[in-house]
Amino acid sequence: MPDSTSDFFSDPGHSRTPHSDRPVSAEHSDAPDLTGLVSYVANALITDEQATVESTETRNGVIIKLHVSEENMGRVIGKDGRIANALRTLLRAGSASSKKRVMLDIE
């Protein structure tokens, strides 16, 4: 059976960091793609349309705006806001390495 990690590291878009054995993409070494994460999760939850995601950098951090239709708002927010809180937790964990505050605004 071939070693899949050797194929991964032989790809020129990935490299090992000098401080870790963990692979890091060359394009996103310092900033994770949090808007892509929000878009992926939101589009998996809604049924009939695509969610749109905008990112704005401010002095205090990053604001990610998620735009969904009224009929899909309940799916994205969830019962008692559980899904929205889970998304915010994912964003907090994803932004920990960049040390920037990330806020999610669902519209």
Percent of the chain at pLDDT exceeding 90: 47
pLDDT of residue 32: 66
Residue 88, pLDDT > 90, answer yes
- CA 43-15-34 angle, 5° bins: 25
Domain ranges (residues) in the chain? 1-29, 31-106
| pTM, to two decimals | 0.66
Residue 25 has pLDDT above 50, yes or no: no
Q: Looking at residues 22-45, what average pLDDT do you find?
A: 69
pLDDT above 80: residue 89: yes
CATH fold of 31-106: GMP Synthetase; Chain A, domain 3 (3.30.300)
Task: Report DSSP state, residue 80.
Answer: G
Distance CA(54)–CA(56), nearest Å, equals: 7
